[in-house]
Amino acid sequence: MVVAMTTDLDTFIASLPKVELHVHLVGSASIATVLELARRHPGSGVPATEEELRRFYTFRDFPHFARVYRAVNALVREPEDVATLVLGLARDLAPQGARYVELQVTPYAHHIVGMPAREVTEALDLAARRSLEEHGVEMAYIFDIPGEYGEEAAKVTLDHALEEPPATLVGFGIGGIEQERTKYRDAFRSAFAAARAAGLHSVPHAGEMTGPETMWEVIEEYGAERIGHGIACLSDPRLVAYLRETQLPLDVCPTSNVCTGQIARIEDHPLPRMLEEGLFVTLNSDDPPMFATTLAGEYRVAAEHLRLGREQLAQLAANGVRASYLPQERKDSLLAEIALAR
C-alpha cells in the first residue's frame, strides 16, 4: 500500500507543469555537468570521476557546501562553461515537468575571472535557445548582486544588465550574506532604481539569514516585486498583514533552508503556516544538487514532511506560474494544464 501511494504521489507531482523561480546558475550544477567541466579543466582540484565527485558533493554542513560551491564556481572560466551550466539545468529539469525557469546569474563572478560581458551574454542567449529547442524548457534570467562584495559588485551587475543584457533578462536581484548589506545600502538602492527604470523586475533575496527588517528594506528601498525566501516574515505581524494584502510573492526553498541552518528540521519549516496566513508562496529548489534535492523533490517534501495535500501542491505550482514574468498568454496555458492535473 505504501509503495502504491508513493507511486501515485510521484505520478501526480510529475503531472504538474512547473516553473522554477529561485535557482542559481552555479548551484544548479549536477554531477553530470560538473564532470563535464572538471574534465574540460583538468588540474582544478575537483574530482573528475563520478564516484569521487558524488562523495565530494554529498552535503555535510554549510561550510562544506560553501567549499563545494566555490570549487564548482572556479570551474566556470569561459563563456562555454556558462552555457554548459544553463544547458545542464534545462536537461535536469525537463524530466521533472519544468517548463520555464528564471535562472539567477551572478555577472560579478564571471567579471572577476576576466570574462567580457558581451561573451557571457552571447553564451546565455545561445543556451536559452538550445534549452528550449533541445529540452523544451524556456529560460529567462535574473542578474544577481552578491551583496557582500559591495559597490563594485553592484556597478558590474548593473552595467552588464543595462549595456549587454541577454535577450531574456527579466529581473534584477541581490543575494549573498544579508548581514553584509547594510554598509552598502546606498549603492544597492541606486542600482535597483536604475534597473527598475530600465524595465527590470526587482527580485531580491531577503528574510532568509536575517529578520523581517531586511524584508522591509527591500520592499521600501528596492521596490521588491517578489522576494527570495522571506521565511522570517512570520515574526512580524505588520509584515504578514502587508504581504497578505499585497500578495507579494515569496519564493520559498524548504530543503535549502534546512541545509543552511536557517530551519532546524524540515518538519519545522514555516511554509504551511505561511499558506495558512494567506501569503502568496512559490516552491523552488535554490541550489538543488548541492542540497541533494530537485524541484520535483521539493513538492514531495511539501507533501510528505509538511503534510500539504494535492490541492495545495497544485496551488503552489499555479502560484509559480502567476508569480513568473512569463507573458500572460503563456501563463494562461500553463494554468489550464495545472487545472486539468488537479
Query: Would you name the residues annotated as active-site residues?
Result: 208
Residues paired with residue 145 on neighbouring β-strands, in sequence order: 174
Give CA angle at 47 (43, 50), nearest 5°: 140
Instruction: Please give the radius of gyration of the chain, using alpha carbons only, rounded to the nearest integer.
Output: 19
Give CA angle at 273 (292, 296), nearest 5°: 30
Give the phi and the psi of residue 327 in degrees, each rounded to 5. -60, 150
3-state secondary structure of 140: strand
Please, what's the largest Cα pairwise distance for the chain? 58
Q: Which helix (H) or strand (E) holds 206?
A: strand 205-206
Q: Are 254 and 269 in contact (CB under 8 A)?
A: yes
Q: Which of 127, 39, 43, 31 is nearest to 79 (CA)?
A: 127
Q: Which helix (H) or strand (E) holds 96?
A: none
First to last CA, the chain: 22
